[in-house]
A and B are shown apart, each in its own frame.
Chain A
Amino acid sequence: MRTRRGACYSCHDDEATEMHLPKRRRTAAPEGGSPSAVSGPAGSAAAGDMFEELPDDLVVSILADVAASAASPADLAGAIMTCKRFRELAQSKVVLTKASPRCLAVRAKTWSDTAHQFLQRCADAGNLDASYLLGMIRFYCLGSRGSGAALMAAAAVGGHRDALYSLAVIQFNGSGGSKDDRDLRAGAALCARAASLGHVDALRELGHCLQDGYGVRRSLLDGRRLLIQANARELAAASASLVKPSSSSRAGRQHSCLLSDFGCRAAAAAAAGEAHAANRFLSDWFASRPLACVDTGAGGTGTGPAPMELEDGGSGGGGLRLCSHAQCGRPETRRHEFRRCSVCGVVNYCSRACQALHWKMAHKAECTPMDRWLDAANANPEPNADAAAAAAVAAPAL
């Protein structure tokens, strides 16, 4: 095959002809005037699109590494916006599946259709974190219970332990349905699966369920064992994430929090810093969209959080409330869905795990039956004074 200038483009083992042009190498252009090369701003003649040399599957590989190690969505978005080829190759299933949780961490204040589509594409590609995150957003924020639950279920089937736990909470509360839709046994089963994968909240939740015989056969010993396991995991995760040069891992050091029902405050604080993107999204979302507010009680002391009770009868605000554990972010899906602290009646939780966390981080210092005493004193003096006193005394020492 000959060009107009007579250059011969035949095989290499051909006899070299006088007109044989050397094959132009893309990487170096010692001879000037290489039309396809674009000189960089430094004016180096060797500059060209380096990625042109790489076949598509290698570029996809590199983009997948970007997605997998991204610290925020911006890392991948920056690559996507670079040129058409990157934009196209970044749609590939390989890249979307590998997107890390931090790469997917949409913030509520920048939520948009395009963010929604991105998460949807990642979920369709089989990214479990995307399925879970989108499921949570759809279920709680956008009100599509069915598709939200389905997405979470897809993640759960794949072994995503946060999805398993969130579905358990939904089952325990009958979220998205009525009080009669609560399925304690299903909730406990989901919790057990999440717990077996090491989910700290699920371990704690299941531990309390076993102690109370809630959705499972009552077993104090097994419950206790799980609570301790939850504490141990929480401590281990906290000490792994805390960077302490003069570390405190003295052999045989006793940590009294290990035996507590509620765990260690410091560990919980450390865990809170690593809150899942889904919970953060929910908290941010409902921070800017109105739900009924809950007053926090005045300060006081107590030994442990009271058992929760269902709030029946309409005391307090109309509308829905948020779980009082701020890092959770879950809202009620119907009135009086969540259960409240039976001592002060002021805070309410989606789950025992949230109650435990909130207790050790804040509520321990605030819980007091003050409002009830006042209500009781103002309403009917004699009989309710006894009832109020009995309620205060009945707060169990846990």
Chain B
Amino acid sequence: MAGMKTASGDYIDSSWELRVFVGEEDPEAESVTLRVTGESHIGGVLLKIVEQINRKQDWSDHAIWWEQKRQWLLQTHWTLDKYGILADARLFFGPQHRPVILRLPNRRALRLRASFSQPLFQAVAAICRLLSIRHPEELSLLRAPEKKEKKKKEKEPEEELYDLSKVVLAGGVAPALFRGMPAHFSDSAQTEACYHMLSRPQPPPDPLLLQRLPRPSSLSDKTQLHSRWLDSSRCLMQQGIKAGDVLWLRFKYYSFFDLDPKTDPVRLTQLYEQARWDLLLEEIDCTEEEMMVFAALQYHINKLSQSGEVGEPAGTDPGLDDLDAALSNLEVKLEGSAPTDVLDSLTTIPELKDYLRIFRPRKLTLKGYRQHWVVFKETTLSYYKSQDEAPGDPIQQLNLKGCEVVPDVNVSGQKFCIKLLVPSPEGMSEIYLRCQDEQQYARWMAGCRLASKGRTMADSSYASEVQAILAFLSLQRTGGGGPGNHPQGPDASAEGLNPYGLVAPRFQRKFKAKQLTPRILEAHQNVAQLSLAEAQLRFIQAWQSLPDFGISYVMVRFKGSRKDEILGIANNRLIRIDLAVGDVVKTWRFSNMRQWNVNWDIRQVAIEFDEHINVAFSCVSASCRIVHEYIGGYIFLSTRERARGEELDEDLFLQLTGGHEAF
């Protein structure tokens, strides 16, 4: 034992004094002084420290951090000599798990305890387990960007900070479900709210805020984000993160394995949120048409999540629907009436008849709208000069199956037009129907929509379609006043839509709200039947099919080149992109890659592909570690197999992405 001394008080063994600070890295911290020898085991030292502090407390999470070496002394059976610790070592006895504030993909802040001593890969895995996100290997942490806007500090305290720091997760077992959520969330109302925040999509952001947020204006701006990734093979402590720091949790690798709406509510939602913010902040570009689909999906998702229809509403087979409706109908009839009536009722399909104004654009005619008696039955629209002539031959009859229905509505101008583009063997015929008021418009519009899909007004979705149209019209009345006139207050959030919150700011500049709303509505009719999870999945799929999806940009300088270029890293390939023009110069696929080398001295990455193609570049915007981790990470992700389930080959990951910490 260290600390043997003679009667006179001199130490006779080779022991020396070791000073250990208690607490997190704080020079003022209290300290204890121990008598140790080089042969003392870390475990023994820990015991002595606890004895000396002499305080009743759970010390199990505490460990010693060696400040100079930036290293945890976690091997309790190692001796001080083995670690090379001498008396001048500055050691801190502190907790391994410390609170951090995570900024989630949905931009909400969450306080939780993260491991400061394990490699980041494991720390992220633990965080994801707590949040119940499967496949943590796809996520990682970023440093929060330096805050420039210190002035706006007043705004931040308003934000709700969710707290999971007190939740402790039993190790090993997968968290059981309790009341529809992982059991550890159901402890208190607070954690329950937290789970809802995690698993339900957030309402659209305030358009004004959206405009203020920084957006990348060029490819080189897009490289900025990627310089902030933390190193997955080192622990948070080693990377200079302190307790209470803000970190971003993001999906880093765009290769989403086995996405399952049933088992992954949180993962799906967070992925959806990341995709949405990517689009809203113009991290990824899309066309106008695509943006409208994204906006419609967001609107739909928001509507569903606010009305609490998280389960599986709608989306049943329309055919069955039909049958069921007819069935109940039939049943009622059967009670009293004769069978012929029954069959009549079965075959009778509700029809619309009314005077509408019709306009048929033709070449060389200047005729305007004319009043006609219009009968809409099944999927066929017929119009007559007047009601009296209705039994005779119509002026024209159009089968709306497969037609295009475009709303042309201006609520404030009391204009309710339906533009129909009806296919026929000769081509498309255009026809405009002008309705008198919202009610009429909604009924006819809903009928046209169903007919274009080959369904009749007997379809069970007719009523809801009418309601949806009316709801949208009322939105236009409130939200469509014009730019800058945004609806405010609780009323607005109930209404659910300000089109500016759903599209990227460049579309806000391009279109007026009242121009956007009908286009979003038009796109919405194609997605209106989706359930929440389906809609989110659809959103993610549409995001994935964008050509620029999943490319992480890094600025590099290729060997032999005199100018900086962009290297795009995707899940299956590397792309060399011209910095100025943005054109793809060359693509290399990982499947042809033989090996890659990193020279940490000169910060160069060299890659060899099949057929002796060699590529070497040095990294400019981010460290070459980040490029290296991206490549290794994607190779790792491609080795995943369903058979292996969720267990991770962490060693393989670290081998493929690590390697530099030795220096």
Q: Is chain B found bound to chain A in the same assembly? A: no
Tell me the B residues contacting A by CB distance below 8 Å: none
Tell me the A residues contacting B by CB distance below 8 Å: none
